[in-house]
């Protein structure tokens, strides 16, 4: 990692007097300093992006697609370097960081394939005498220039999920990466520029929240906002942008139902990963598990034992499962939530110790629905496991949340699988896998406090375009 990085407007590297210190979550050492963009730099990026987008939409589709494919290939070629940067700035274990790089490459490859198959619709309008020999053509047109705001936890792949659909559908985009993990986004922009992206179509501007708020509230040239992050911030930003397209992928506290007919050992292995991968700092991390009474005791004992086998340490080590929490403030917040649960009668079965900013994974039971461990998004290595009498009760427990991103159920009963699908109030129900599952081409997003709209390349492309009709009167 270099000692400093500049912001990027199109193909130009821009420095500024103000800098963000990017720290290693493991030991709080300063990794690098990154230029901070103010309103003037945003104005320059907006002007350049608008100009570029007008030219970009006239570019042949195959040229647009070629850049996306080249970017996918270059991401793969730079896998080890990108993975190391992800691990250094986010604390994600290196093996998971490599998986994130693979996913980012896939995102651009999917965008490439969808770009090449751009489609429209031809419809007959002959429904009455007035519309005799009238036909319609419907195509989707890009919204224009937008802003993408991304969180710290997937500093490469979630940036890819903003950029790739935007470019594939003809939109320019300015990325405001998380202040704690901006380097991955800057490297991705460099890769895209090297792949031949038109100058101005992409800018990456690390910045302050108040700058973004003013830009969104005051600049009518911005046509869309795509945001991934906390629910409170997301809904606040939407209020600043009431008449424009807003795509929100927000928080969750994913529930997982375990039916009585499952093979416990294999399910526990997946559930432990779902709860504690990247120290639970994932919006679809398994936070609440509801286990049928017939297997509750055995499941709980097996889960606790598997949790205690997880390997904690330096995330650059190949055999480490659990690395650090992103910062000390987050650790203190998690511990305060656990302390509240214990005061209310919850029992901690394992975990809770902190060493080198690493929080040992915590398993609780005897919790109550209104405790913060169940009612809020913890964003840490914490899971509660409770007994249920039936699948119907489990569904009620899952639905008691204010969030509705994804949920899961393990069952060998097809009726129970479809019951969960029909009754659980989330954007996605994952059967026989953890709710932490995500494939980068599937529709992804939530309801309730968990968001608005859908990501996943095809679905994001639809969100970032609007249908336009042309009517043909063939009577003349």
d(CA 454, CA 328): 32
Angle, CA 250 vertex, CA 180 and CA 114 arms, to 5°: 95
d(CA 192, CA 447): 33
- Catalytic member of 283, 377, 455, 463: 283
Burial of 259 (0-12, 13-18, 19+ CB in 10 A): buried
In 241-356, alpha helices (H) = 264-276, 296-308, 328-343
- Name the token pair of 48: 């350049």
Query: CB under 8 Å to 58, separation ≥6 — which residues?
Result: none
Per DSSP bridges, beta strands 224-228 and 145-149 are parallel
Angle, CA 169 vertex, CA 167 and CA 174 arms, to 5°: 40
- Catalytic member of 74, 89, 249, 455: 249
- Name the token pair of 160: 């890819």
Could you please report the per-residue DSSP string of 12-34?
EEE--S-EEEEE-TTT--EEEEE
- CA 216, 217, 222, 225 dihedral sign is positive
| Total Cβ atoms within 10 A of residue 418 | 12
Alpha-carbon distances, residue 404 vs 360, 398, 408 (angstroms): 27, 9, 12
Helix/strand/coil for 84: helix
Sheet-wide strand order for 362-365: 347-350, 362-365, 382-388, 286-292, 254-258, 406-410, 428-431
Contact 357, 325 (CB under 8 A): yes
Q: Is 463 a catalytic residue?
A: no
Residues in the chain: 476
Q: Is 455 a catalytic residue?
A: no
Q: Which of 382, 325, 327, 377 is nearest to 351 (CA)?
A: 382
d(CA 279, CA 283): 11
**Tokens 């699908």 belong to which residue?**
421
**Tokens 């997946």 belong to which residue?**
270
Residues identified as active-site: 249, 283
């Amino acid at each position: 990692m270099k000692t400093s990085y500049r912001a990027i407007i199109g193909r130009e590297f821009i420095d500024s007097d103000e800098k963000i210190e990017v720290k290693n979550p493991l030991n709080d050492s300063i990794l690098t300093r990154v230029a901070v963009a103010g309103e003037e730099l945003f104005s320059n990026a907006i002007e350049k992006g608008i100009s570029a987008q007008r030219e970009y939409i006239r570019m042949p589709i195959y040229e647009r697609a070629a850049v996306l494919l080249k970017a996918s290939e270059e991401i793969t070629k730079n896998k080890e370097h990108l993975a190391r940067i992800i691990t250094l700035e986010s604390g994600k274990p290196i093996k998971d960081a490599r998986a994130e790089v693979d996913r980012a490459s896939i995102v651009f490859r999917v965008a490439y394939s969808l770009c090449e198959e751009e489609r429209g619709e031809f419809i007959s309008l002959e429904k009455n005498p007035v519309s005799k020999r009238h036909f319609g053509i419907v195509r989707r047109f890009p919204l224009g220039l937008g802003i993408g705001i991304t969180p710290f936890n997937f500093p490469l792949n979630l940036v890819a999920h903003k950029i790739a659909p935007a470019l594939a559908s003809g939109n320019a985009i300015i990325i405001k990466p998380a202040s704690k993990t901006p380097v991955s986004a800057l490297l991705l922009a460099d890769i895209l520029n090297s792949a031949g992206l038109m100058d101005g179509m992409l800018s990456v501007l690390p910045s302050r929240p108040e700058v973004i708020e003013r830009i969104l509230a005051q600049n009518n040239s911005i046509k869309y906002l795509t945001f991934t992050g906390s629910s409170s911030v997301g809904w606040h930003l939407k209020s600043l942008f009431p008449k424009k397209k807003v795509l929100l992928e927000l928080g969750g506290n994913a529930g997982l139902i375990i039916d009585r007919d499952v093979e416990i050992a294999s399910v526990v292995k997946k559930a432990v990963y779902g709860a504690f991968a990247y120290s639970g700092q994932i919006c679809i991390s398994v936070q609440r598990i509801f286990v049928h009474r017939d297997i509750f005791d055995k499941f709980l004992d097996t889960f606790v034992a598997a949790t205690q086998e997880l390997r904690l340490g330096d995330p650059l080590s190949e055999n480490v499962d659990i690395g650090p929490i992103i910062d000390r403030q987050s650790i203190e917040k998690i511990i305060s939530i656990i302390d509240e649960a214990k005061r209310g009668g919850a029992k901690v079965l394992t975990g809770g110790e902190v060493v080198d900013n690493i929080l040992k994974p915590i398993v609780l039971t005897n919790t109550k629905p209104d405790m913060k461990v169940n009612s809020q998004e913890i964003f840490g290595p914490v899971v509660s496991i409770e007994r249920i009498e039936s699948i119907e009760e489990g569904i009620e427990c899952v639905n008691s949340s204010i969030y509705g991103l994804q949920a899961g159920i393990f069952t060998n009963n097809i009726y129970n699988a479809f019951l969960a699908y029909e009754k659980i109030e989330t954007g996605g129900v994952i059967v026989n896998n953890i709710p932490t599952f995500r494939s980068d081409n599937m529709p992804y997003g939530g309801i309730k406090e968990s968001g608005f709209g859908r990501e996943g390349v095809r679905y994001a492309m639809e969100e970032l375009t609007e249908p336009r009709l042309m009517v043909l009167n063939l009577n003349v």
